[in-house]
């Protein structure tokens, strides 16, 4: 989703840009056995959330996709339906009925809608692997690193929200991790984004959400820690990378947990958010409530546990907030770039757009080039001052290209080209200042990468000839202006300052 800021309403900023640019079958075991391991309510819920066998000829399942390249303006009809590596929602059947729905937390999901699709067995297995992986949450100062499974974190946070009477409508996996679950060959992800759809109409619920996350971290501290002496302020300083709330217009909050390798766990609590995606390939949201119910039923079994197989696994529904799941999935498989109304996106989606270009994505439509001025205009509306642009660029590079100076250089040169060709809303000297900033950053990372290569080569030479090694200076024999970053997200302070546990401003 990127970094966000409570700046102006989307409607006002959009007008500024335009002006600037002119379940399924029943469980495959007996009811008596189920009732011995979980109560009747859980059994009924499990009956509504477990999937049919994908080998069933009526299930709509088809093998691994093998697309042919064609214009995305063509209709996505039977050809796409037969090749998607998902159950096509419009063909999904339950007990012989087509266009049936799935109920999640009392909400009926209309699977006949083109927004939804049911995940295949292989995709559910990948989702389970993502939820079951151990993610380190690195602490600052003397605080220990927390080794947390994503599914355990979600379970604890949800239980604390329920105990505090905060309604959780559903929980979703979002962003790059969701794209990876659907198409691992063409997706990579840094952050693990989770969306809790909650009620934030009461301003006190923002504080309840923050307290639930901090209290959950307290539960994951090692047994040897004296938890009674650790305040919420200390936990915030030690483990939170970012904490933001937007209480007016859109209503949501974001709490990001620190990871030194750049794989932050981002918990987003959303009540109202008009624009939930930047491009079609990052518009996927996987509703994981049925998988969480499967974990819960599994834990309640005293003597034996249920394991997933091709004939027995949870029904997991995916949604594309882009509007068309099959079209968005095609873009993901073919590495195509598509969006709508980029002037509505915070920052215009400019930085993500250049990121996709560097990763080998191509515009899905010929008129995608015409949207670049809208992206640039919205970016310069949201980040009008040069220091803001510097901070935003440094933050984005630090979060999305950890330890990869060569790719940072390629990314910045791509950004330079787009800004140079498509910016129409800046005066000449403002445009030159921004281009000089991008060029300065690019040269910094280029020479830094070159220095690292020289240092590694020197070490290898010295090791082979038994010469003592020494550290080359960063500025060496190169003639360029030394660059001093103003943003250091990986900096680890050794002590704590006074903390009032306030929310950060959105950037």
Q: CA dist 352 to 6, 197, 339, 393, Å?
A: 19, 24, 12, 11
Residue 260 has pLDDT above 90, yes or no: no
Find which of 302-306, 408-412, 468-472 is predicted with most confidence, using mean pLDDT. Answer: 408-412
Is the pLDDT at 481 greater than 80? The verdict is no
Residue 60: the pLDDT is 41
pLDDT tens column, 286-300: 999 999 999 998 888
- Give 501's contacts (C-beta < 8 A, 6+ positions apart): 210, 232, 233, 236
Q: Does the pLDDT at position 484 exceed 80? A: no
Above 50 in pLDDT, residue 52? no
Enter the DSSP assignment of 360.
Answer: T
DSSP notation for 174-196:
EHHHHHHHH-GGG---SSEEEEE
Q: Which of 64-68, 70-74, 144-148, 489-493 has the lowest mean pLDDT?
A: 64-68
Overall average pLDDT of the 3-21 stretch: 49
Nearest to 167 by CA among 158, 179, 177, 176: 158
Q: What is the mean pLDDT of residues 336-350?
A: 91
> How high is the pLDDT of residue 278?
94
Band of the pLDDT at 188, cuts 50, 70, 90? confident
- What is the average pLDDT across 216-242? 89
* pLDDT value, residue 411: 94
The pLDDT assigned to 273 comes to: 92
Question: SS3 string of 56-117?
Answer: CCCCCCCCCCCCCCCCCCCCCCHHHHCCCCCECHHHCEECCEECCEEEECCEEEECCCCCEE
Phi and psi (nearest 5°) for 320?
-110, 110
Record the tokens describing residue 208, joined without a space: 């309840």
Q: Which of 302, 355, 364 is nearest to 332 (CA)?
A: 364
At residue 264, the pLDDT reads 86
Does residue 392 carry a pLDDT above 90?
A: yes
Mean pLDDT of 447-460: 64
> Residue 231 burial (CB < 10 Å; 0-12/13-18/19+)?
middle
How much is the pLDDT for 5?
42
Q: Which tokens is 57 given?
A: 């000829």
In percent, how much of the chain has pLDDT > 70?
A: 67
List the structure tokens of 9. Answer: 């309403």
| Highest mean pLDDT pick, 7-11, 92-96, 415-419, 468-472 | 415-419
Instruction: Name the phi and psi angles at 47, rounded to 5.
Output: -60, -35
Q: Which pLDDT does position 472 carry in this prediction?
A: 44
Of 74-88, 108-122, 179-193, 430-444, least confident by mean pLDDT is: 74-88
Higher pLDDT, 459 or 410: 410
- Of the chain, the percentage scoring pLDDT greater than 90 comes to 47
Q: List beta partners, residue 318.
A: 117, 286
Coil, helix or strand at residue 395: helix
Does the pLDDT value for residue 490 go beyond 60? no
Per-chain mean pLDDT for the chain: 77
Q: Is the pLDDT of residue 3 over 90?
A: no
Please tell me the predicted confidence (pLDDT) of residue 103: 73
Mean pLDDT to the nearest integer, 372-399: 93
pLDDT band at 454 (very low <50, low <70, confident <90, very high): low
Task: List, for residues 128-149, the tens digit of each pLDDT value.
Answer: 999 999 999 999 988 999 999 9
Q: pLDDT band for 444, please (50, 70, 90 cuts).
A: confident
Structure confidence at residue 228 as a pLDDT band (50, 70, 90): confident
Which residues share a beta bridge with 57?
none
Q: Does residue 303 carry a pLDDT above 50? A: yes
DSSP line for 127-168: HHHHHHSEEEEPPSTTPPPEEEEHHHHHHHHHHHHHHTT--E
d(CA 447, CA 433): 21
pLDDT of residue 485: 55
Domain ranges in the chain are 1-22+341-507, 48-334
Give the model's pLDDT for residue 298.
87
Residue 276 Cα distances to 89, 128, 227, 352, 390, angstroms: 22, 24, 37, 14, 25
Contacts of 189 (CB under 8 A, 6+ apart): 175, 176, 177, 179, 180
Q: What is the mean pLDDT of residues 76-96?
A: 39
């Amino acid at each position: 989703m990127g970094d966000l800021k409570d700046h102006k309403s989307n409607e006002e900023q959009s007008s500024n840009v335009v002006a600037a640019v002119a379940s399924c079958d029943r469980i495959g075991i007996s009811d008596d056995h189920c009732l011995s391991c979980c109560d009747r309510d859980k059994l009924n819920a499990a009956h509504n959330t477990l999937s049919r066998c994908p080998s069933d000829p009526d299930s709509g399942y088809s093998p691994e996709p093998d697309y042919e390249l064609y214009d995305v303006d063509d209709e996505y009809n039977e050809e796409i339906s037969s090749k998607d590596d998902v159950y096509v929602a419009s063909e999904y059947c339950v007990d012989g009925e087509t266009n049936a729905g799935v109920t999640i937390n009392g909400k009926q999901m209309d699977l006949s809608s083109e927004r939804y699709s049911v995940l295949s067995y292989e995709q559910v297995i990948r989702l389970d692997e993502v939820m079951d992986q151990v993610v380190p949450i690195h602490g600052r100062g003397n605080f220990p690193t927390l080794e947390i499974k994503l599914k355990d974190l979600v379970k604890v946070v949800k239980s604390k929200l329920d105990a505090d009477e905060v309604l959780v409508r559903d929980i979703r996996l979002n962003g790059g991790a969701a794209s990876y679950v659907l198409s691992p060959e063409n997706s990579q992800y840094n952050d693990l984004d989770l969306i809790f759809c909650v009620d934030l109409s009461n301003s006190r619920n923002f504080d309840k959400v923050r307290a639930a996350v901090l209290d959950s971290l307290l539960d994951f501290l090692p047994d040897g820690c004296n938890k009674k002496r650790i305040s919420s302020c200390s936990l915030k300083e030690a483990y939170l990378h970012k904490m933001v709330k937007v209480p007016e217009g859109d209503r949501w909050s974001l709490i990001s947990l620190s990871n030194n390798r750049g794989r932050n766990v981002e918990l987003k609590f959303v009540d109202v958010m008009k624009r939930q995606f930047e491009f079609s390939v990052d518009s996927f949201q996987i509703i994981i409530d049925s998988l969480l119910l499967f974990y819960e039923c599994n834990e309640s079994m005293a003597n034996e546990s249920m394991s997933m197989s091709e004939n027995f696994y949870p029904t997991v529904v995916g949604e594309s907030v882009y509007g068309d799941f099959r079209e968005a999935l095609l873009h993901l498989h073919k590495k195509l770039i598509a969006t709508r109304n980029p002037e509505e996106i915070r920052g215009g989606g400019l930085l993500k757009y250049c990121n996709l270009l560097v990763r080998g994505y191509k515009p899905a439509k010929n008129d995608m080039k015409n949207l670049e001025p809208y992206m640039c205009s919205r970016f310069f509306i949201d980040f009008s001052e040069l220091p803001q642009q510097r901070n935003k660029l440094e933050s984005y590079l630090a979060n999305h290209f950890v330890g990869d100076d060569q790719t940072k250089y390629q990314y910045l040169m791509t950004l330079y080209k787009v800004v140079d060709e498509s910016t129409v809303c800046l005066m000449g000297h403002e445009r030159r200042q921004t281009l000089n900033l991008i060029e300065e950053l690019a040269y910094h990372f280029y020479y830094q990468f070159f220095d690292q290569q020289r240092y590694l080569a020197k070490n290898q030479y010295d090791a082979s000839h038994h010469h003592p090694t020494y550290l080359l200076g960063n500025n060496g024999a190169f003639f360029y202006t030394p660059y001093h970053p103003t943003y250091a997200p990986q900096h680890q302070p050794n002590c704590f300052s006074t903390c009032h546990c306030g929310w950060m401003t959105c950037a």
